[in-house]
Homo-oligomer: A and B are copies of this chain.
Amino acid sequence: MCQLLGMNANTPTDVMFSFTGFATRAEEYKDGFGIAFFEGAGVRLMVDAQSARESPVAEMVRRFPIRSENIIAHIRKATQGQVTLANTHPFVRELWGRYWVFAHNGDLKGFAPRLHGAFRPVGETDSERAFCWLMQELAKAHATVPPIAELTATLRELAPIPAAHGTFNFMLSNGQALWAHCSTHLHHLVRQHPFTRASLQDDDVTVDFAEHTSARDRVAVIVTEPLTRDEAWTAFAPGELRVFVDGTPQPV
C-alpha cells in the first residue's frame, strides 16, 4: 500500500508545504517515492527508490519551489514488484501527443488484461500494468485528445474493471486536468480566497496561505489521508471518480 498526493491549480503553484507533510509519512512508506510536475505540456518527473525521508531528490523537492498547475506524488510501500526505479510511481506515457502521468495506491489481484497495443509495462507492478491498460483503452475509445468531460465519461466506464480486482485508488493527469478515483481512501479540498492558516497533521509546520497567494488563486489538493488538522477535507465515496480543472472539482 502507498500514499497519493495530487494538486490541480489555476495558476502555477508549489507543493513544498503539502509535500513536506506527505514526505513525513515516508517512514512507513519507505520503498521509494516519485513526483511529477507538469509545466505546460512538458513534465518533470522525479523518482527515487529510496525513502522520501532520505532521498536527495526529495530534499530538492522540499527546498526548491517548483511551480506547476498539475502535480502527482506517490510514496511507496512495495506490495508487488521489487524496490527498483522501474517500479516507482508515477509512471509516464505519451498518447495523442500529450504526456499522461499515473500513480496508484492499492493492490490488484489477478488483473492480467491483454496488452496488444502500444503500451507495455517496463517494471513488474500491477499498477503500471493497469496504467498501460487504461492508456490502451483510451486510445481505442478516442481518435485524438477529446474534451475533458468525454475523457471523464470514458474513465468512469473503465475504472471499475481493474477496481473489481482489488483496490484501485489512482490519480491521472495530462496537464489539462487531474482525475482521481477512489476505491477506499481519498480526500480533497479546495484552497481559495479568503485564504487561511493551515497546520500539518504530521509535522510541526504552519503556513498562512494568505501570505503566499493572490485572491484569484485556486488550488485543489487530493490526498490519501488529510494532510492538515484545521482544514475541511471531503472524503471520496468508494467507486467515485472526480476530475479537477483549474483548481475546481467539476460537477459529477
Q: A residues 109-135 with Cβ under 8 Å of B?
A: 117-123
Residue contact A85 to B43, C-beta cutoff 8 Å: yes
Q: Residues of B contacting A139 with CB < 8 Å?
A: 118
Residue contact A42 to B98, C-beta cutoff 8 Å: no
A56 adjacent to chain B (CB < 8 Å):
yes
Q: Which of B49, B56, B92, B119 contacts A92 (CB 8 A)?
A: B92
Residue contact A94 to B119, C-beta cutoff 8 Å: yes
Residue of B nearest to A65 (CB): B56
Alpha-carbon gap, A49 to B98, bound state (A): 18
- The interface size of chain A toward B, counting residues with CB under 8 Å, comes to 37
Q: Residues of B contacting A85 with CB < 8 Å?
A: 39-40, 42-44
Residue of B nearest to A117 (CB): B118
A87 adjacent to chain B (CB < 8 Å):
yes
Residue contact B122 to A97, C-beta cutoff 8 Å: yes
Nearest-CB distance from A153 to chain B (Å)? 23
Alpha-carbon gap, A231 to B85, bound state (A): 34
Residue contact A40 to B94, C-beta cutoff 8 Å: no
Residue contact B92 to A120, C-beta cutoff 8 Å: no
Q: Residues of B contacting A120 with CB < 8 Å?
A: 94-97
Residue contact A39 to B84, C-beta cutoff 8 Å: yes
User: B-facing mask of A33-47, CB < 8 A → 1, else 0?
Assistant: 000000111111111
Q: Residues of B contacting A56 with CB < 8 Å?
A: 60, 63-64
A86 adjacent to chain B (CB < 8 Å):
yes
Residue contact B93 to A94, C-beta cutoff 8 Å: yes
Q: Which of B44, B87, B94, B97 contacts A42 (CB 8 A)?
A: B87
Residue contact B123 to A42, C-beta cutoff 8 Å: yes
Q: Which of B42, B46, B94 contacts A84 (CB 8 A)?
A: B42
Interface residues, chain A, CB within 8 Å of chain B?
39-49, 56-57, 60, 63-64, 84-88, 92-99, 117-123, 139
